[in-house]
């Protein structure tokens, strides 16, 4: 009798492992192993022709913390995330609320908002390069109509990062809008009617009913936007290459530069590990604290 139970239990366990294995194999090959390998290589010194690689412990990390460019890039990335995430979410939400109301040419409005998302980032960057180019660019042409001086948006340290931020927002807001639109359509019409009967204004209804019901979507978008703020650097290659004077350099671009322009893999690996740690902490906060405060239907 007990033997049968044991066999059955073992069978269930094997069954479970079989179901688990595809995901486990893929994740191990492409996520866990590379992460560990990166961590491992970040603890060794750079290999040169004269000196072989040797274990240096946390030295690569101390180097980074002493590197002013690293701090510059971190601050840049914080500004970049701090601007792109809330602004693109706010724009996405207002576009969604508008595109969800009864307006003429609703389909056209939605398509128009979504178009930037369909473009590859490189194409979008080329488009914006045409906007930003001093003298020839659309912005300057419009400015000159009003007698404004020509501005090299991408070429000066004060404006370069913001010019890049605007491109990202333009690119992302439409994408996030689609998620909000989908979420808005799951809110039953009669909630609005019930609120109308109670005398709630459109603003009260939006604030007390719609926004809380959109909270799971907002959270999802926030996580996505955060990942993008670290991940999305294609446009830097076209627009500024991190310049001028590192003014628009973001962390992933710096990692790429470190690894493939300066051929300093250990420092690149150390930076990668730092990014992973930060993103891991954010994910932890999302799954523990924020999820508890959110209403999931």
Using CB under 8 A, list all residues that contact another protein: 188, 190-191, 193-201, 204, 208-209, 212-213, 215, 295, 297
Whether the CB-CB separation of 168 and 239 falls below 8 Å is answered with no
Name the residue nearer to another protein (CB basis): 192 or 286.
Answer: 192
Q: What is the per-residue burial (b if ≥16 Cβ within 10 Å, else e) of 170-195? A: bbbbbbbbbbbbebbeeeeeeeeeeb
Whether the CB-CB separation of 250 and 73 falls below 8 Å is answered with yes
CA gap 56, 138 in Å, rounded? 52
Name the residue nearer to another protein (CB basis): 72 or 192.
Answer: 192
Q: How far is the CB of 294 from another protein (least distance, A)?
A: 9
Name the residue nearer to another protein (CB basis): 4 or 295.
Answer: 295
Name the residue nearer to another protein (CB basis): 39 or 219.
Answer: 219
Neighbour tally for 77: CB within 10 Å: 22
DSSP state of 149: P
Q: How far is the CB of 212 from another protein (least distance, A)?
A: 5
The CA R_g of the chain, rounded to the nearest whole Å, is 25
Map tokens 């690569």 to a residue: 60
Q: How far is the CB of 205 from another protein (least distance, A)?
A: 9
Q: Which residues pair with 44 in a beta bridge?
A: 55
Q: Please give the backbone phi and psi of residue 198, each rounded to the nearest 5 degrees, phi first.
A: -80, -5
Q: How far is the CB of 224 from another protein (least distance, A)?
A: 22
Name the residue nearer to another protein (CB basis): 129 or 215.
Answer: 215
Q: How far is the CB of 216 from another protein (least distance, A)?
A: 10
> 42 Cβ partners below 8 Å, 6+ apart?
60, 61, 266, 267, 269, 270, 272, 273
Name the residue nearer to another protein (CB basis): 109 or 209.
Answer: 209
Q: How far is the CB of 180 from another protein (least distance, A)?
A: 16
């Amino acid at each position: 009798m007990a033997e049968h139970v044991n066999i059955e239990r073992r069978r269930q366990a094997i069954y479970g492992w079989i179901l688990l294995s595809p995901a486990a194999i893929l994740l191990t090959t492409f996520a866990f192993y590379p992460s560990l390998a990166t961590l491992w290589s970040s603890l060794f010194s750079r290999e040169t022709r004269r000196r072989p690689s040797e274990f240096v412990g946390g030295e690569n990390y101390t180097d980074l913390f002493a590197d002013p460019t690293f701090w510059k890039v971190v601050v840049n990335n914080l500004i970049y995330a701090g601007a792109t995430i809330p602004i693109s979410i706010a724009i996405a939400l207002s576009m969604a609320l508008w595109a969800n109301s009864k307006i003429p040419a609703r389909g056209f409005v939605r398509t128009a908002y979504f178009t930037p998302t369909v473009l590859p980032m490189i194409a979008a960057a080329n488009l914006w390069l045409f906007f930003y180019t001093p003298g020839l660019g659309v912005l300057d042409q419009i400015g000159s109509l009003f007698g404004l001086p020509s501005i090299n948006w991408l070429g000066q340290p004060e404006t370069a990062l913001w010019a890049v931020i605007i491109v990202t927002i333009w690119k992302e807001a439409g994408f996030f809008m689609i998620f909000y639109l989908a979420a808005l359509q799951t809110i039953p019409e009669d909630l609005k009617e019930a609120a109308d009967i109670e005398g709630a204004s459109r603003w009260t209804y939006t604030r007390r009913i719609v926004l809380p019901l959109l909270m799971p979507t907002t959270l999802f978008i926030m996580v996505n936007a955060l990942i993008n703020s670290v991940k999305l650097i294609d446009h830097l290659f076209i627009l500024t290459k991190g310049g001028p004077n590192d003014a628009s350099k973001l962390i992933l671009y710096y990692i790429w530069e470190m690894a493939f322009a300066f051929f300093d893999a250990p420092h690149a690996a150390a930076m990668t590990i730092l990014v992973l740690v930060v993103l891991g902490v954010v994910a932890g906060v999302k799954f523990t604290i924020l999820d508890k405060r959110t209403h999931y239907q």
